[in-house]
Structure 1
Amino acid sequence: MPEGHSVHRIARQFARNIVGKPVAASSPQGRFAEGAALLDGRVVESVQAVGKQMFLETEGDLWLRVHLGLYGAWDFSGEILVDPTIASANGRMGQTNQRGTDLEAPILDDAGENSLASIGAPRKTRVHVRMSEATKGLADEGVEWPPPVVGQVRLRLMTDATCADLRGPTACVLQTPDEMLATVAKLGPDPLVGDVDEGEERFVAAVRRRAVPIALLLMDQAVVSGIGNVYRAELLFRAQLNPHTPGRDVPEATVRALWRDWVRLLAIGVETGQMMTMDDLSPEQYRAAMAHRDDRHWVYHRTGLPCRVCGTAIVLEEIGARKLYWCPRCQA
């Protein structure tokens, strides 16, 4: 499932390429035909990401709420203006070589986490993306426009130069302003939304009043927004915290440290497009970690392999119908 960093990256691409423009909306798959008809021709006025959900505001007080879930993804094609606050894995803007530069090739990730062409669930088929600040037309690139529909596209949003295709979301619904605010109110704090200190206080209060294991609380989007399976496992390991500890038994200082670590890791994820959770890497180790998911995590996806700190075999168990990776010694 795409975690919070991916959704914030998607929102920033919408802000650069879609917001402020009228969109032609359609539902090639047909499952969102009525909603697309209501969106068609409206100007997108703003975009907001909160945890794993994104909200597009359109003129006429109509909001589009999208939750990608396990399999959802946005595919962008056409003229893509890259958000300069988003760097690629090697520190450059964007995920592919920018036209007219001689910068070294970017680090590519076969796990599908660092592709603006399809942000969300990994996909083998990519729609053309021109990662360029140029404003040339598409004809000289030999690009078909509008781009052909590939697969089951729930919603297509098109400006005169950019196309965004949504596939496989858990939720794709229209909301009134009050409904949108009610949805957001049910979500836990997101470090990139609102005051980060207020978010910390909300998080601490939510965790320390519950007898639920901390491993489940971190995945509860009403407690904290954006954390998924990968970040959950890595945050707990970095805190040297037993995942089965009831929230109310976790020392307050540890809960605050979890929040502050999440603030830091989320910022790194948004910037690089990768869930990088290891520190103090050499340049060579950093490049390897950016290129290969298994080289950038402490415990996630390392079942049976030796802990990078103590050598104990990493354990895999199921909790809350999701996989949990942890070290039974470091996190005893």
Structure 2
Amino acid sequence: MPEGDTLFRTARALEKALAGRVVTAFETGVATLASVNDDKPVAGRLVERVEARGKWNLIFFSGDLILTSHMLMSGSWHIYRTGEKWWKGRSHMRVAITCGEMQAVLFDAQIAEFHTERSLARSRQIPALGLDVLSDAYTPEGGVAALRDYGRTHPEAEVGVTLLNQRVLAGLGNVYKSEVAFAAGVNPFRRMSTVTERELETMADVSQRYMKANVMDGSGDGIVTYSGNRRTTHSMNAGDRLWVYGRQGQECRRCGTAVERRLQGEQARPTYWCPQCQPWIADAGQSEAAPVGRNTKHTGPRRRRSGC
């Protein structure tokens, strides 16, 4: 599933390609969008701006019309020169917006809706988002406050589930969940009631630093639609780009202990962690035994490695 950094880069590319241009053609394979377009044609409207909010993309057209989309697992926006061959077949097209010589196409998205400012404000999804980690309004202090407040009202919530909760911090996805918890030395299965203020500060700060580092490419004048796989380790080696995510059974890059994996939360999302660097701290009513990953194996002796 695309995470907040992917949506941020997508919105930035769409802004460069479409903003300030008049829509010359609009196509859609979504019946509800087609119905709105029949009554209030999109063609002829100005693309005013494009924004990312958490994992949502919003395109604002003149005349109080907003196209919102969520990528879920398989959706993606592509940018083409008008007339250029698409990378995917027309059956995958959900929306195609043409502005003169530029064209933006939304493929395979399961959620695409039109809103007005008023209907968007009444929506149960986008207005309910928490503080966007990549927004100008985000500060580590604000992130700490959001995590702390949620922990107070939901003391039994697990750390990993909380980091994925878009109503707490918007934009973090499954990769960042594991990477941020690792950077803070927090076991992702701990209850929020066990998390210290210092650990909250680290998670809030690292969340922003990791995500900002992965949207630097494309910040210039050119339209960049892909900047490579995300990184959290600062390593230039493609195989060493992440600390724990996707590395079940491999040596922790810091201590050499085998990285573990376990499904977490109602959606059973995979979580990765190092049991040595992220020690288990039990809360009242919890077992003193740390959660055990599935099919975990040690691939070598434990040893300390440098890293940041």
TM-score range, shorter chain: 0.7 to 0.9
Q: CA deviation at 1:244?
A: 1.1
CA contact (8 A) 1:32 1:154 kept: no
Alignment-derived partner of residue 275 in structure 1: 230
Alignment-derived partner of residue 247 in structure 2: 302
Q: CA deviation at 1:310?
A: 1.6
Alignment-derived partner of residue 47 in structure 2: 44
Cα RMSD, aligned residues only: 2.0
Alignment-derived partner of residue 330 in structure 1: 277
Q: CA deviation at 1:31?
A: 7.2
Q: CA deviation at 1:25?
A: 1.1
Alignment-derived partner of residue 225 in structure 1: 170
Which deviates more, 270-279 or 66-75?
270-279
Kindly provide the amino acid, as one letter, of the partner of residue 232 in structure 2.
T
> Does 1:161 pair with 2:101?
yes
Q: Deviations over 1:277-332 (max 9, x none)?
A: 114x4xxxx1x23xxxx420011111111111121111111112111111112111
Distance 1:327 1:193, change over 3 A: same
Q: CA deviation at 1:204?
A: 3.2
Alignment-derived partner of residue 193 in structure 1: 135
Alignment-derived partner of residue 314 in structure 1: 259
Distance 1:173 1:188, change over 3 A: same
CA distance in 2, matches of 1:204, 1:178: 31
Which deviates more, 174-183 or 311-320?
174-183
Which deviates more, 183-192 or 58-67?
183-192
CA contact (8 A) 2:4 2:134 kept: no
Q: CA deviation at 1:34?
A: 2.4
Kindly provide the amino acid, as one letter, of the partner of residue 35 in structure 2.
E
SS in 2 for 1:241: coil
SS in 2 for 1:297: coil
SS in 2 for 1:317: strand
SS in 1 for 2:118: helix
Alignment-derived partner of residue 134 in structure 1: none
Alignment-derived partner of residue 83 in structure 2: 145
Kindly provide the amino acid, as one letter, of the partner of residue 180 in structure 1.
L
Q: CA deviation at 1:22?
A: 1.6
Kindly provide the amino acid, as one letter, of the partner of residue 54 in structure 2.
G
Match of 2:64 among 48, 61, 65: 61
Distance 1:271 1:188, change over 3 A: same
SS in 2 for 1:41: coil
Kindly provide the amino acid, as one letter, of the partner of residue 204 in structure 1.
R
Which structure would you say has the larger Rg?
Answer: 2
SS in 1 for 2:8: helix
CA distance in 1, matches of 2:36, 2:148: 39
CA contact (8 A) 1:63 1:174 kept: yes
Kindly provide the amino acid, as one letter, of the partner of residue 240 in structure 2.
D
CA contact (8 A) 1:189 1:203 kept: no
> Does 1:206 pair with 2:150?
yes
Distance 1:249 1:170, change over 3 A: farther
Q: CA deviation at 1:249?
A: 2.1
Kindly provide the amino acid, as one letter, of the partner of residue 149 in structure 2.
A
Q: CA deviation at 1:229?
A: 0.9
Q: CA deviation at 1:163?
A: 1.0
Q: Deviations over 1:34-69 (max 9, x none)?
A: 245442332111111111001111111111111011
Q: How many equivalent residue pairs?
A: 257
Which deviates more, 201-210 or 245-254?
201-210
Q: TM-score, normalised by structure 1?
A: 0.72
CA distance in 2, matches of 1:307, 1:277: 14
Match of 1:250 among 178, 195, 217: 195
Q: Deviations over 1:199-236 (max 9, x none)?
A: 32334322443220010001111111111111111111
Gaps of 5+ in 2: 218-226, 280-308
Kindly provide the amino acid, as one letter, of the partner of residue 142 in structure 2.
G
Q: CA deviation at 1:240?
A: 0.9
CA distance in 2, matches of 1:47, 1:207: 33
Distance 1:276 1:208, change over 3 A: farther
Which deviates more, 251-260 or 215-224?
251-260
Alignment-derived partner of residue 222 in structure 2: none
CA contact (8 A) 1:208 1:249 kept: no
CA distance in 2, matches of 1:171, 1:207: 30
CA distance in 2, matches of 1:178, 1:250: 39
